[in-house]
Amino acid sequence: MSSPNYHLDNVLAARARLGEGPTWDSTDKLLYWVDIYNHRVNQFNPATGQNLFFDVKDVVGCIAVAGANRLIMGQRDRLAFLNTQTGEVTPIIEVEAGMPENRFNDGKCDPQGRFWFGSMCPNKSQGSLYRYDPDGSLHMMETGLTISNGLGWSPDEKTFYLTDSAHQKIYAYDFDAATGNISDRRIFVDLTGESFYPDGLTIDSEGYIWSAMWDGWCVIRFHPKGEEILRIQLPVQRPTSCTFGGEDLQTLYITTASVGLSEEEIQKSFYSGDLFALQTDIAGLPTYDFLG
């Protein structure tokens, strides 16, 4: 399980409070990512190293490309579109407006262009997972979650993965690509008893799962059967999520957080909140766009 000779770069000294949700735009060759508590959607250009941001006026947990110059966002209790030319935010639908303790967290689109996003309540199991379809219909897919987090689909589109960070588990479900239904939840990875928590994840073209480990100083690659295959050590305590990007989809972009760290922890984890890029020899799956 030792690390291969991959090259890790700190590509942006962002010092984000809670960097999350990295999303690769394969058309424009840009990486979008969010800083949840600073209410920012970031647009990072790897070719120039330039990072622009949009202040969306409220927490933003997840994003997906939704056509030319447009993103769909999961904010505190609603979905909205963001125009990446003007910065204009257009509300779509309120979802958990009557649950002030909750906020939306991680999300992404499935290969059919449906937007999946989950909510969290750190101290209660009252989070849910939703699917928002291109026809404007909203579907509750799972309930009883504490921190709905890292999600994705296997290359053959037969398996859906979902993380509940507080429970230290990654679940697997059967996935029906045609209907968008999920069934037969089972534990894929159980990290109970560890000192860290599975956070955002991505899946590579071989069907292996890469999960960022909050408080774990690492990203772990899991075999499709759940076995840990590889552990990539990082110079920061709180990796939050990861996604593949670049021309060949072999660059793993990793977001991180500084929120909640003491001064002593910050000194040990000086680059917390920065954006990292790991050059690998494995291609990721493409990022799917919202087709609504």
CB 242 within 8 A of CB 234: no
One-letter identity of residue 96: E
> What angle is formed at CA 275 by the lines to CA 271 and CA 276, rounded to 5 degrees?
90
CB 44 within 8 A of CB 9: no
Token pair 């840990």 in the structure block, residue = 228
**Residue 192: left (phi > 0), alpha (psi -120 to 50), or beta?**
beta
Pair of tokens at residue 50: 């330039």
Strands 30-35 and 19-25: antiparallel
Where in the sequence numbering do the catalytic residues fall?
199
Question: What is the C-alpha to C-alpha distance for residues 133 and 142, in angstroms, rounded to an integer?
Answer: 16
The length of the chain is: 292
Pair of tokens at residue 154: 């296997």
Q: Hey, how many other C-beta atoms are within 10 angstroms of the C-beta on 73?
A: 30
Strands 169-176 and 159-164: antiparallel
CB 169 within 8 A of CB 189: yes
127: helix, strand or coil: strand
Where b means 16+ CB within 10 Å and e means fewer, 143-174 reads: eebbbbbbbbbbeeeebbbbbbbbbbbbbbbe
